Amino acid sequence: MNRSSGARLRATVAVGALSLALVTGCAESGSDDSEGSGSASAAPAAPAAQVLGAAELKKLILAQGDVEGYEIQADDSRLPASQSDVRVDKAECEPLAHAMSGFAPGDSAGEARTMATERTSPTDTASKSMEDMSEGEFENAMADALSVDMTVVGLSSYDGEGTAETFASVTDAITACAGGFTLTAQGTDQKITEVATAKASGTGDESVAFTASVDVEDQEKPGTVHGEVVRHGGTLVTYYTVNMGALMSGEAYDVPAAVIDAQAAKLT
C-alpha cells in the first residue's frame, strides 16, 4: 500500500508527540452556559489550612480503581522528570507551563502527580494488518487509536497564603499569555498560539479553566488542549488533558468530569 506522506507524517507526529503532549497546553473547553464559567466565586479561605508534604499528598491523589474506565499511573514516563525540564519564553507563563505538566505552579511545600488514561475498546479495523488497510481506513484507525483522554493530575500544598497566591498567579497567567508562548520540554519546542479562559467545573473553593491552541505539524488548523486549576483549602489541584486523536480530527473534548469529581471526593 502506498500511503500518502501526509498520513504517515501525521501518524508519526501524533505518536511521537505523546511524550511531549502532556506539557503542550491546557484547559477545559468552553460552553455557552454562564453558570460555573470562568473562576468560581471564592469561598472564605479556611483559617490555618494544613500544609501537606509529598508523602501525604501521594495518599490523597488519584490511585488505581478511583475512576471507573481509567488507568491511573503515578510518575508516568511520558512526563518531564523535573520542573527544570520545562521552560517558557515568557516568565509570566511559567505557572501555566508547570500546571500543564503536573508540577506545582508555585513554590510548594509538597507535591504529587499522576496520570489518568481513558480505557478504550478495540475498533473493527484493529484486526486488520496496516498493509491491508486503505488510506482512509488507516487514517481512521490511527485517529481511533489515539482518541484517548490522557489527564495529568497534580496536587500541591503551600505555606501561609501561598495556595491562594499561586491560584491567582495561574489566573493572571491565562490573561497575560492570551497571545500564546513557546514551551520547551524534554528538548522539544511547542508553540502555543492562544490561551483563553473556559468553563470551570466549580469544584473546590475556587476554580479556573482554560484552553490552549497548539500547532500540530502537517495540519492546517491548530489543535486544542485543556486544563483546570482548583483550590481545595490549602491544596491546589491541576488538571491537564490532551487527546491526540481529537487534535488530529478537530473533535471537541474536555477535562473528564469523572476525573475531576473523583479527585475532589478524595479531598473532601
Is the pLDDT at 35 greater than 80? The verdict is no
Convert the pLDDT of each residue in 205-217 to its tens digit.
999 999 999 887 7
E strand or H helix at 231, and its extent?
A: strand 223-232
Is the pLDDT at 39 greater than 80? The verdict is no
Is the pLDDT at 124 greater than 60? The verdict is no
pLDDT-above-70 percentage for the chain: 74
AA identity, residue 162: G
pLDDT band at 8 (very low <50, low <70, confident <90, very high): very low
Q: State mean pLDDT over 38-47.
A: 43
Question: HSE (CB half, 13 Å, CA atoms) of 40?
Answer: 18
Average pLDDT of the chain is 79
pLDDT score recorded for residue 250: 81
The least confident of 70-74, 197-201, 229-233 is 70-74
Name the 3-class secondary structure at 60: helix
Convert the pLDDT of each residue in 134-167 to its tens digit.
777 776 677 677 889 999 999 999 998 999 999 9
pLDDT score recorded for residue 230: 97
Copy the grid coordinates of residue 106: 508555585
Those residues with Cβ within 8 angstroms of residue 119's Cβ, 6 or more apart along the chain or in another chain: 69, 70, 71
Is the pLDDT at 19 greater than 60? The verdict is no
CA 156 to chain centroid, in Å, comes to 16
Those residues with Cβ within 8 angstroms of residue 167's Cβ, 6 or more apart along the chain or in another chain: 206, 208, 229, 231, 236
Domain spanning 22-121+148-267 has what CATH number?
3.40.1000.70
Whether the model pTM is above 0.85? no
Four-point Cα dihedral 119, 154, 50, 109, nearest 10: 150
Name the 3-class secondary structure at 127: helix
Is the pLDDT at 182 greater than 60? The verdict is yes
pLDDT band at 77 (very low <50, low <70, confident <90, very high): low
Q: State mean pLDDT over 248-258.
A: 89
| Contact by Cβ (8 Å): 193, 216 | no
